Amino acid sequence: MALLDRISSPSDLRRLSERELVALAAEIRDFLVASVSRTGGHLGPNLGVVELSIALHRVFDSPRDSVVFDTGHQAYVHKLLTGRQDFSDLRTRGGMSGYPSRAESPHDVVENSHASTALSWADGIAKAHELRGRSDRHVVAVIGDGALTGGMAWEALNNIAAGRDRRLVIVVNDNGRSYAPTIGGLAHHLDTLRVTNGYEAVLSWGKRTLRRSGAPGRLAYDALHGLKKGIKDVVAPQGMFEDLGLKYVGPVDGHDVAAVERALARAKAFGGPVIVHVITEKGRGYSPAEQDVADRFHAVGRIHPETGLPVAPSRFSWTKVFADEMVRIGRRRPDVVAITAAMLAPVGLAPFEAEFPERTFDVGIAEQHAATSAAGMAFAGLHPVVAVYATFLNRAFDQVLMDVALHRAGVTFVLDRAGLTGEDGASHNGMWDMAMLRVVPGLRLAAPRDEATLRSALRAAVDVDDAPTVVRYPKTPLGDDIPAIDAVEGVDVLARHAGPGARVLVVGIGSMATTAVQVGEQLAATGLQVTIVDPRWVLPVPSALVKVVGEHDLTLCVEDGVVEGGVGATLAQRVTEAGIRTPVLARGIPAQFLEHASIAQLVEAVRLRPEDLAADVLGALAAADA
């Protein structure tokens, strides 16, 4: 019987010998490679935390002790050890989430997969335990060195340090990477700690020497105290953490279960906030991941487990178009610089960085800093392009509003994976941006429909030097270009269908232009007179689009963003303000947290298929005639 088959809860781990734990770790790695290669998911991060996860669950008593993962994509091993060993439906509708999920298990605490939040969660839980007299419970926050580049983590550390008696253990999972090598001053500090792990060995030697010397007790104590201080200053400069009032343990080999277990047990016994610094290797035990410098195995699609190569090659993407156009713009415009938040390769800035390294800035997981730093660059004569996933711009809304827009800074924000993203679940759907940004004065937002309009929008955006601009595009594969057959004051006309019936205008926002064309064809088949348009620049709503709405009997506006307060709702408001009585049907994503599923399944669930939208139009027309 395989060891993993004998693990149904963390208590089962405590019955295993040290030799069995080593064998279990190997089994878990084999399981992860075999399972995730079939479904896709976060492979590299989980291969790196196998021994750490085993040690955590041997030392702490989950769920009585709360274990909080930041960001949660490294919780697959935790799931295995807490009784969830069917990974056949990982990240599929109705199946296991790729992140911790309270709906799945009482062992899961935090579902949000936005980084740098775990320490604040842990601080709050520990404070609640203290106030409620739960002195027998511990809180453990597992945070990567990459997430420690986020300012929120340091706000939490500042508060955690004040609770000297709270039973809170911070495990820094230090692999030198987030999506890419961790950057900044913190990374250099951890590098220093990482290469000076001889502290305990030297201290042990000093203790033995003092004992053999036969020095009197007080003299030996003073000598040992001086030895400790000297060694810490020279060998283990962890003062940054200890100056905050946090006890520091480490660095510890994160792939030695016994060593990690000893360190965690020491931290647990301390009775106050402790940082345990654990050194791990992302992708550990899987040769393709260990040898990969580009970090392709952070998150994978379906792959061949033997080679790590994708089962199906990826199609040409929106991100690649952006990457190519950025390099072209960079060659033409020496004032254009690129900023990203720990996602240089995923957002397509690696080619720009390769050609213009001095003009590329990876600020770590710090979207707020990215936005305000960009405002400073714009003030000093540059044009920054800040490229992030759409879901992560949520974190920097105040900076976009008060630092960029208020100061009329020429900053371009490029939002990758806008709209529905699918398998990563509620926190990764980039559906909030248009509804959120519509209230920012002066901001202009483009939603290109294809490669040609993406390139055009990006060139136009960086030419704006007196206001923020936004260019957004989805995760879905890039389709064929959709040429305009006409234009009305900047609004592209994609198709016109003659017919004897009512005049219907279909407005397709961004990548939903393809859906709009299909809706138009279905409506035309019923005898309606249909016009399909794409405004391209959707915020503020073009006055020409409002005028075109007035020339029709009914308008449908379809977008891949939140419908409440979105582009369609804004268009309806502008139409009313203009005294136009044409009804506007706004269709988009409801303001709900959507469970993980494929994009196609989500589109069906929120009724954004062409047949759903055409039915809504026909129903509205029938109701108007009744």
Q: Is the peptide bond before 384 cis (omega within 30 degrees of 0)?
A: no
- Rounded Cα distance between 42 and 72, Å, is 10
Helix, strand, or coil here: 581? coil
- Rounded Cα distance between 219 and 603, Å, is 75
Amino acid at 476: T
- Rounded Cα distance between 6 and 101, Å, is 23
| Range list of H helices, 40-94 | 44-47, 50-59, 76-81
For residue 204, count CB atoms less than 10 angstroms from its CB and return exposed for 0-12, middle for 13-18, buried for 19 or more.
exposed
- Rounded Cα distance between 583 and 578, Å, is 13
* Residue set of the binding site for thiamine diphosphate: 73, 113-115, 146-147, 175, 286, 367
Q: How large is the angle between the packed helices 151-160 and 118-131, nearest 10 degrees? A: 20
- Rounded Cα distance between 236 and 199, Å, is 6
Q: What Å distances lie between residue 366 and 341, 344, 419, 456, CA to CA?
A: 6, 13, 22, 29
CB 428 within 8 A of CB 389: yes
CB 173 within 8 A of CB 52: yes
Residue 288 CB partners (closer than 8 Å, separation 6+): 297, 307, 308
For residue 271, count CB atoms less than 10 angstroms from its CB and return exposed for 0-12, middle for 13-18, buried for 19 or more.
middle
CB 532 within 8 A of CB 508: yes
Q: Annotated active-site positions, please?
A: 282, 367, 395
Residue among 427, 415, 424 at smallest CA distance from 454: 415
